[in-house]
Amino acid sequence: MDRAAGDPMLTMTGVHTFYGAIEALKGIDLTVATGEIVTLIGANGAGKSTLLMTLCGAPQARYGRIVFEGEDITRLPTCQIVRRGIAQSPEGRRIFPRMTVLENLQLGAITAPASYAEELERVFLLFPRLKERSAQRGGTLSGGEQQMLAIGRALMSRPRLLLLDEPSLGLAPLVIRQIFQVIRDINRDHGMTVFMVEQNAHRALRLAHRAYVMVNGLITLTGTGAGLLANPEVRAAYLEGGH
């Protein structure tokens, strides 16, 4: 499946997601093109994590359509979606605490056992710290190391689309810089398409080619990263004060 940069890889059309009676996504339209870094920013509770999880079918969208590489994945079970080439480093990282770093990475490769050795080497190259810690239990890692492991684990499946949910949350500035550098590198050097949710809007907008702003379950603004950085509305709501 050779796709040129710029082709739409992922399309969401009119996607609604519910938790019981609560409507968390109220009709989302967005696209991510092959080779892009796209970021989604928005306040706490806007529905960003729900959007990423809906892409993976957990929970499934109630209405609307999600198309990945030309295939409708809206109704596929989570494990099948992941097998199509989407990997997620989820909110809260969700490292398996009682398994070693290496086992966490092995689990990441469970859908792609053939390329395990090669990917492991690549992940250790991106995050040398994980190699040092490979025999340690996931639960004993620092927050930054856990985030590296969550991203590394996602990369082990050789995804074509990498979903990242707040990779900078709770981390020291130095670690954030390192992680954003890795995101930039895997996008530039390996052509990995990245769709990233961030509260750290400033850094995210500087890194991303394009961005969406989400408020209360709806996309309210979209543009290039640089464009949104300069947008007075965005500046007022997400950039000034704090960051």
Partner 1 sequence: MDYFLQQLINGVTLGAIYGLVAIGYTMVYGIIGMINFAHGEIYMIGAFIAVISFLVLGLIGITWVPLAVVIVLILTMLFTAVYGWAVERLAYRPLRGSFRLAPLISAIGMSIFLQNYVQLVQGARVKPLPPVMSDVIVLMDRAGGFRVSVSDLQLLILALTVTLMIGFTQVIARTSLGRAQRACEQDMKMASLLGIDVDRTISLTFVMGAALAGVAGVMVTMYYGVIDFYIGFLAGIKAFTAAVLGGIGSLPGAMLGGLLIGLIEAFWSAYFSVEYKDVATFVILVLVLIFRPTGLLGRPDLEKV
Residue 157 makes contact with partner 1 by CB under 8 A:
yes
**DSSP string over 164-181:** EE-TTTT--HHHHHHHHH
CA dihedral 25, 29, 35, 38 (to 10 degrees): -50
Residues numbered 104 to 123 that lie near partner 1 (CB under 8 A) are 106-108, 110-111, 113
Residue 91 makes contact with Mg ion by CB under 5 A:
yes
Provide the angle, in degrees to the nearest 10, between the axes of the packed helices 143-155 and 116-126: 150
Residue 134 makes contact with partner 1 by CB under 8 A:
no
Instruction: Report CA-CA distances (Å) from 40 to 122, 172, 204.
Output: 27, 21, 9
Q: Which does 231 bind (CB under 5 to 8 A by kind): ligand ADP, Mg ion, partner 1, none?
A: none
Cβ–Cβ < 8 Å for 104, 182: no
Residue 49 makes contact with Mg ion by CB under 5 A:
yes
Residue 152 makes contact with partner 1 by CB under 8 A:
no
Q: Applying CB under 6 A, which residues contact ligand ADP?
A: 19, 22, 24, 42, 44-50
- Nearest distance from C-beta of residue 164 to partner 1, angstroms: 13
Name the 3-class secondary structure at 95: coil
The residues that touch partner 1, with contacts defined as CB under 8 A, are 56, 58, 77-79, 82-83, 87-88, 90, 94, 96-99, 103, 106-108, 110-111, 113, 153, 157
